[in-house]
Amino acid sequence: MKPLKIAKKTLNWGARTYIMGILNATPDSFSGDGLYAQNAQNALAQAKDFVAFGADILDVGGESTRPGSAPVDADEEMRRVIPIIRAIAEHLPQTIISIDTYKAKVAEAALNAGAHIVNDVWGLRADPELASVISAFSCPVILMHNRSNPASVEVREKLGNAYQGAEYANLLEEVKAELLESVEIGTQAGVTRETMILDPGIGFGKTVPQNLELNNRLDEIREMGFPLLLGPSRKSFIGYTLDLPADERVEGTAASVAIGIARGADIIRVHDVKEMVRVARMTDALVRK
């Protein structure tokens, strides 16, 4: 795979694992870290810490994907994220910024404000205009696999909410096929394959055993020939496996990240940046030439 130039940086796929730190500009994040919606300076302080810890990318999101969360309209989402993106772009100009949205209007405003990547949890399926916005800006896009059904949510005390799994006759083959459908939507709009990054969608429309299987068989997704992002951080499949709430899942996240890197993940999207940078560096030392 060709290296990907983003802003002032070049991502050399396979050389090392890149770290994406999560900045949730939401009041209802499942992980308990949605602290920044009202204050861009708080988010900037967190962003500076993440960069100091070793984050390569900062992923700013203004709508929770927590199972059972209420949707947010584009104007409110922009009100939450645009001041943060502008602050990061001004004060951390060497850092890659990702906008976590599936809405074309939000993506366009974020890219104009200084974001470099669009991270779409619906793989270009939710807003028919988003692929055209990405093409117009010639920016990279993260395409996530997602079979979540908002009406199908399981709630357990302490462990939080989780999407119930969808039906799969063949988990890996169907995830791969649906990711390729997202790739095709992008190419039809003029987005180049070299700027696409795939995310298998851990936690989105999969059961706990399916999430574990997908994490462990990530190399089969990697064989599709695209860079891969893995986002297991603090998710419910870890909580259900270890019987732990979101704020006690750092070790489970570390195990998921280490196996993911060993199976070919290029980017890991995490809340606990300092700890996961160390996990990634150690895993890289073990498995990368």
Torsion (CA) 241, 178, 126, 83 in degrees, nearest 10: 60
Among 125, 206, 249, 269, the one annotated catalytic: 269
In the 8-state DSSP scheme, what is residue 167?
P
Helix (H) or strand (E) holding 20: strand 18-24
Among the options 66, 222, 235, 249, which is catalytic?
235
Q: Is 235 a catalytic residue?
A: yes
Beta bridge partners of 228: 198
* Dist CA 161 CA 163 (whole Å): 7
Four-point Cα dihedral 79, 82, 85, 89, nearest 10: -140
Residue where the block lists tokens 């299987």: 213
Beta bridge partners of residue 267, listed in sequence order: 18, 229
**Order of strands across the sheet with 96-100?**
196-199, 141-144, 117-120, 96-100, 57-61, 18-24, 267-270, 229-230
Q: Are 42 and 71 in contact (CB under 8 A)?
A: no
d(CA 58, CA 202): 19
Token pair recorded at residue 133: 């916005």
Structure tokens of 175?
A: 């995830």
Which of 225, 9, 204 minimizes the C-alpha distance to 122? 204
Residues with a catalytic annotation lie at: 235, 269
